[in-house]
Amino acid sequence: MNPSPIDRAFRLRENRPVMFLAAGLFVVHMLCNGRYGFHRDELQVLDDARHLAWGYVAYPPLTAFLGRIELLLFGTALDGFRFFSALAQSVAVVLGAAIAGEFGGNGRARLAAAAATAFMPFALLTGSEFMYVSFDFLWWVLLAWLVLRLINTGNPRWWLALGAVIGLGMLTRYTIGFDVAGLVLGVFFTSSRGQLRSSWLWFGVVLSLVIFVPNFVWQMQHDYVYLDFLRHIHERDIRWGRTAGFFRDQFVGNASVFTLPLWLAGLWYVTLGRDGARYRIMAFLYLVPLVLFAATRGRGYYLAPAYPPLLAAGAVAWERWFAGMRPVPAKTMRAAQWLLLVFAGITSAAIALPLAPVNSIGWRISRAAHDNFAEQIGWQELVRRVAEVYRSLPENERARTAILANNYGEAGAIDLYGPALGLPPAISRTNSYWYRGYGNPPPLTVIELGNTAQDEQRSAAKCTSFGGFRNSLGVDNEESASGYEIFVCRDIPPKWKEIWGAEPRFG
């Protein structure tokens, strides 16, 4: 009896190259991930990990929960904090190969699918930072593999696994709902509609809801604050032009431009290819989120998790095409395919891995593509500068002094590095920090961060500037290039309830 595609996909001997690739990727991440510093978004997650809850203003709870585990295992070591992110990307690489196996791909196709997934710029970047996008990426890829397992085995019990993944996905990032919309429409409008008669499908639906309910209850208890956050952030992104490159990012940002022929072939394979009728639901898992993100003016990278299945399908389609050629042309085309994958790996690594020294040519190349590494520079220096200001205050004044941070990066940095310098915890009105309040009794003096002199003129308190902040490496980022100064504010009106406001500030 011939082994099933999934048996072929997970045979260790046949997939040793895939396992080596995934393990090598993990090692590269762990070697590189301590290079710069914490990203401002990571500082927020790190602080939320110390305040576990069933929800947060900016995201669902699972990422903070994983952050808490990493704190217990590794403390605040930077590379340790990024352990699960790196691991998630390596698992996604293995799943990319397994998806190709589900499509009936041989060892060459599976390895090409794994390499194409590993060399996605988005995937490399999300393996370099601890953020919810790292795990959102994994859930999308896992969901695609489970759908193929369901199709190929005909075993409806796979709906339970799908329900669990959807529930975990909703506890990670709500945008997986667009992927679920593709799944729902795919079931209705393809040969999979017979699954609607299976009780296992509905058991899976119930399981996903049970997993998600605690976060939904938290949102109810907090007046669905995420919707207000989402509206604010979305309007900001449109205003700043961050959504303008949505379609461009589908070709050059999510999957490498060098793998464009691969995923386009994959899209053809699941729509018009010889197995199109069997696997057409996979087209829905890509096209429905594409349309929904485009219609709602989402950012380009939101769709990145939908590409590994297309890359896997394309790898299978290409390998079948090669198999129909004479030996010499087939060998030439395979060499060309791998040359493209090598180019994808080199260019993606240059852009998305924390490899280059700060301000080097490699740094500038990466900086032209994104600002993630720039936002990791200078946090410890900023906290040391705040500590100098704090120690300059009279000793009796320090007892009633708070550090007010106007963004979550500043607040997270104060809470991470401040205790060793004798600083009190930060207070902030931004995102979930707002719920933690301003202390009782309220502060009489405030060291305020993240405000410009022009903004401070509107303050009812008497504020003195202690100058701006520039990191010693001269890297332009939000903290060093926005005109922010460090202020000490006294004579604060005794209206802290009004100052704090009725809802969080969103950022």
Phi, psi of 222 (to 5 degrees): -115, 30
> Comparing 15-19, 202-206, 410-414, which segment has the lowest mean pLDDT?
15-19
Instruction: Please write the tens of the pLDDT for every residue from 392-407.
Output: 999 999 999 999 999 9
Instruction: Please write the tens of the pLDDT for every residue from 465-489.
Output: 999 999 999 999 999 999 999 999 9
Give the span between the Cα atoms of 443 and 446, in whole angstroms: 7
Tokens of 460: 């009812």
Give the pLDDT confidence score for residue 4 in this predicted structure: 52
Give the span between the Cα atoms of 11 and 32, in whole angstroms: 30
E strands within 231-327?
none
For residue 174, CA distances in Å to 156, 251, 288, 471 come to 25, 24, 16, 35
Give the pLDDT confidence score for residue 195 in this predicted structure: 87
What's the whole-model pTM score?
0.95
Q: Read out DSSP for 10-27?
A: H-TTTTHHHHHHHHHHHH
Give the pLDDT confidence score for residue 1 in this predicted structure: 39
Instruction: Please write the tens of the pLDDT for every residue from 20-30.
Output: 999 999 999 99
Instruction: Please write the tens of the pLDDT for every residue from 254-292.
Output: 999 999 999 999 999 999 887 778 999 999 999 999 999
Q: 220-229: long-range contacts (C-beta < 8 A, 24 or more apart)?
A: 222/55, 225/57, 225/503, 225/504, 226/55, 226/57, 226/58, 226/174, 228/503, 228/506, 229/57, 229/58, 229/431, 229/504, 229/506
Give the span between the Cα atoms of 27 and 394, in whole angstroms: 49
For residue 280, count other CB atoms closer than 10 A to its CB.
18
Whether the CB-CB separation of 176 and 206 falls below 8 Å is answered with: no
